[in-house]
Structure formats: structure tokens, C-alpha cells
A and B are shown apart, each in its own frame.
Chain A
Amino acid sequence: MTENHGCRGIPVHGTVYGVALYAGENMNGQPQGPLNVDRAPDCAAVPSSPVLFIKPRNTFLASGGTVKIPPAMTEVEAIPALAVVFARDSRRLRAEDALNALYGYTLAIDLSEPVSNMLRPPIQEKCRDGFLPIGPVVVPRQSVADLSGVVIRLAVDGKEAVEFKVGRRFQSIGKVIEAASAFMTFRAGDVLLVTDSPTGPRARAGSRIAASADGIGRLECVLRNEEDLK
């Protein structure tokens, strides 16, 4: 696998899976209590295993790209993610072996309309064209000496909006891969988006968004009203 094996500057080609909820566990494996209880009043309990979603291929956007926002969409959430890329087909991995199955890392910004409900979020909220800026390149795992020390900073219009310390989710990476690979295959080139929160800073048409992390790179995109682009 090379660092740039996708198309049009998109450095990945597999299926991209994201984590919506981490099954009520924080990095130490301690119960964290109900997640999103304010947003999902109809949901009875914390999920018993990680809740995953898929960002389909139409959402992939190369760094520097433009995300078209329909005029009626007043706000977009921008969730910074560590995108971990699998080196080989992986099934039934143990958490402690999970990192060894990875080729490397890149950055992603999981764009979404604010999620309307956790029971059945309409895919149109997360799956619009261009709603997953990803890149700029996949950095081999060996070149990141201390993944748990990586900090991903997300800036909106040049102002730092949120920072994601990967260490907060470091233990979760293996746990999510173990739980998911118990029932499905991660193929070589597939991606898991590791995030800190199911919500993110808000942006809107006209915003410039950048995610950056030392040793991994800088990923940028601009949101534009699609009417202005016609």
C-alpha cells in the first residue's frame, strides 16, 4: 500500500466506518453513564457494543476541497477524527492486537447535519457528497512514535474550535476493532474513524475548516453555498 493510492487526492479507497457511540466506556474502561441522554430521550440504555456507521464513497473529499451546502442547511457539525487505515483483511481481532493490523493514520473531518435522533438518524445527515474530507496522506503507523500523545486540532475560520487528544480514545481503538471485527471484516484499506465526541463545533456555508495534528498533517476544506457555485 502506498501513501496515496486513492483517486483525486483521496488517500483511501476502502469502506469508512465511524463510531457514533463507544458503548458507555471511556478510555479506562470505566462506565461513563448514559451518553447523549439529552439527545436521545427515547433510548433506554447505553448501547452494549460500539455503535458504528458508514460514510459511503460519495462523501470522500480530498484536502483542499469544497463542500457544497444546500441553502436550507444553516449549520453543519464538524467532528475531528483520527482515521486509522487497515493494512490487511482483519476478522476477530483482539483489542491488544488491533494496532498491529493497521497500516497507518490520516485525518478526517466527519461532517454532519446536527443529528436529529439517535434511534434512526437519516443517512442524509451524514452522507451528503463531500461530507468526509479525508487526508492529506496516510502516514505509516511506524512513523507515529506515540499515537496516544497525538492531538488533533480543529479550527473553524482560523480559530481553534476543539482539540481531540487521541489518548482519550486510545484504549477504545482496540476495543472497537475487537467488537466490530467479531461480526464483520475490516478489509485492507478500510478505515475506522476515531472521534472523541458524537457532536462537534458548528460551521456554515462560507466557513473554512482545518484539522491538523503534528506528525500526521493538515486537512482543510471550505464550505460553500451550493447556489453560489452554480
Chain B
Amino acid sequence: MKRARVAYQGAVHSAVLASDEASLLLGNGETVRFDDVTWLPPLEPGTIFALGLNYRDHAAELSFKTPDKPLVFLKGPDALVGHNGASPCPTDVRQMHFECELAVVIGREARHVRGRHAYDIVAGYTIANDYALREYLEDFYRPNLRVKNRDHCTPIGPWIVDSSDIADPMVLDLRSYVNGELVQQGNTSEMIFSIPEIVEYLSDFMTLSPGDVILTGTPKGVRFVQPGDKVVTEIEGIGSLANTIVREVALEECEQVSASGARS
């Protein structure tokens, strides 16, 4: 089963992919076309983990040595944006690049999970695109939140595929396209730390809970994108996640608003 969250006619709905694979079945039994919904991140996330440098070829591409322990960083919930969403690129950034990643959704509370039992706590899988903005990287708490916790710069979706529908998540092809051109290719078998190893590592010191999600890293293929580019990240057996880069509206251009949040 493929499970999505969408907005339709002013309400948020849980939905599953219909048998024609071209429409969605809402919880109330209604069938809606893809074009008629706004895709939301397919889960309301708990803790969002992401791995850096978890593919040998990507680590080499960025001139880092292979890590001996998983390099994990965290994100807040507003980093996420759904399928067909927009990710803003600041006007001073020229080095924004996509990162196609298999995302693992935790389905059970668990601590001290041995690797061989790791899949028992996985609810399903989805696709994430963990954009990075290299100009903002600094050598403190790398990768810093300014790079990796930007609002709407982590597209995720379109849906979560039940773990029972993925026979082996460690042999899936990943592909990324920019404006239709294939620009990144890899396979989850090339991860340095496998899903069972990551789950064992994390659950050794922290409790994992339903709704936690782990972005497992990206293979080689850094390529900079710019406003207007359409980026598609695909994973075999899961689907295809589309995103458009937009120019971030600079603060100076914003309408002056006196309510909370914006400038007064």
C-alpha cells in the first residue's frame, strides 16, 4: 500500500494510491485525481534524522574519508515539503544541490534494536531530497542548520510504501533528474551503513518512536541547481518525487506586515 497525505477542498486527508495508480482513494472512500490535490509530506514527523556521507562514492566526491560511525544530523519539521512543492534558493546561493535519499519511517517504539530485528520496527519507505546549500556550510556542528534545516528545502514523498511491499530496501536504484536530464544514479546497496546498522546504532542510545524518519544519505552526483529547475528524485519500487527550485524572496522585498512573524 502507498499512503499519502494530501490537501483536498480545504481539508487534510489521508489517502492511499488507487488500483489504477493514477488517482488517490481518500479515507472517506472518494477517489480524486492527482491534479486535484496538494501533496503534503506523507507523515507528520517525529524526530528527523539524516545521514551525511553514507555512500562511498559521494564521500570521495566531496573529498571526505569514509566515516567509521554513522554521521547523523537532525532536522525540524518545517524543513519538509511535499511532492510537487517548491524549495526556495536564496539569491546569494549558487551551490544548491539535490540529494536523492531513501527515507525510512519508524513504526514502533524501540530501544536497543539488534540489526537483525531492525526491519521489524520499520513502517515503510519514502523518498527524500535533502538539498544542501554549500555556501552556508561552516566547520561547526556540520552540516549546520542553516544548510540543512531550511524551511521547505527537504522535499519528501509522494507517499510512504508499506515495508511489507519492499522485499529488500538495500537493493533499490536511485535516480535524479534535473529538467528531464539524468544527473545522479546509485543503488542503496552502496550505502556505507545499511538500514539495520543505522537502526542499531541510533537505538543503542536513544528511543526511536513511530513517526521518526531516517534519511539514509545520497550517492555521488552533486550538481548545482537554480531557480526554475525541476528536480525529480526517484527510487525503484517507491516512486518519483518532484520539486521545483524557486527564488527565495529576499526580506527587503517582503511587504511590511505588523502581525507576528513578518517585519513590522
| B window 43-83: CB within 8 A of A | 46-47, 49, 52, 69, 71-79
Contact (Cβ within 8 A) B141 A127: no
Interface size class of A (residues with CB under 8 A): 35 or more
Known: A54-B76, A56-B206, A185-B78. A121 touches B264 (CB 8 A): no
Q: Does any Cβ of A come within 8 Å of B36's Cβ?
A: no
Cα–Cα distance between A17 and B76 once the two chains are bound (Å):
9
Query: Looking at the complex, which one of B79, B142, B208 makes contact with A119 (CB distance below 8 Å)?
Result: B142
Task: Give per-residue flags for B217-255: 1 if the beta carbon is below 8 A from chain A beta carbons, else 0.
Answer: 000000000000000000000000000000000010010
Q: Number of residue pairs across A and B with beta carbons under 8 Å?
A: 120
Contact (Cβ within 8 A) A20 B141: yes
Interfacial chain A residues near B37, Cβ < 8 Å: none
Interfacial chain B residues near A7, Cβ < 8 Å: none
Q: Does any Cβ of B come within 8 Å of A48's Cβ?
A: yes
A80 to chain B, nearest CB (A): 20
Task: Give per-residue flags for A25-53: 1 if the beta carbon is below 8 A from chain B beta carbons, else 0.
Answer: 00000000000000010111001110111
The interface on chain B, measured as residues whose beta carbon lies within 8 A of the other chain's beta carbons, has a size of 39
Cα–Cα distance between A127 and B78 once the two chains are bound (Å):
20
Contact (Cβ within 8 A) A120 B260: no
Q: Does any Cβ of B come within 8 Å of A157's Cβ?
A: no
B137 to chain A, nearest CB (A): 11
A59 to chain B, nearest CB (A): 8
Contact (Cβ within 8 A) B78 A183: no
Cα–Cα distance between A56 and B144 once the two chains are bound (Å):
16
Contact (Cβ within 8 A) B260 A47: no
Query: Looking at the complex, which one of A20, A129, A182, A185 makes contact with B140 (CB distance below 8 Å)?
Result: A20
Interfacial chain A residues near B49, Cβ < 8 Å: 123
Cα–Cα distance between A94 and B260 once the two chains are bound (Å):
10
With a 10 A CB-CB cut-off, give which of A48, A88, A121, A122 has the most chain B CB atoms: A122
Interfacial chain A residues near B74, Cβ < 8 Å: 53-54, 56, 123, 127
Q: Does any Cβ of A come within 8 Å of B111's Cβ?
A: yes
Query: Looking at the complex, which one of B76, B142, B151, B209 makes contact with A120 (CB distance below 8 Å)?
Result: B142
A57 to chain B, nearest CB (A): 6
Contact (Cβ within 8 A) A40 B140: yes
A140 to chain B, nearest CB (A): 16
Cα–Cα distance between A17 and B209 once the two chains are bound (Å):
19
Known: A43-B140, A180-B145, A183-B146. A94 touches B151 (CB 8 A): no
Known: A15-B76, A56-B47, A89-B261. A118 touches B141 (CB 8 A): yes
With A56-B46, A58-B206, A93-B261 known, 5 other A-B pairs at CB within 8 A are A17-B76, A43-B139, A52-B141, A58-B208, A70-B205
- What are the 10 A-B residue pairs with the smallest beta carbon separation, nearest first? A56-B47, A54-B74, A185-B78, A43-B139, A51-B140, A124-B205, A52-B145, A58-B207, A15-B76, A58-B206
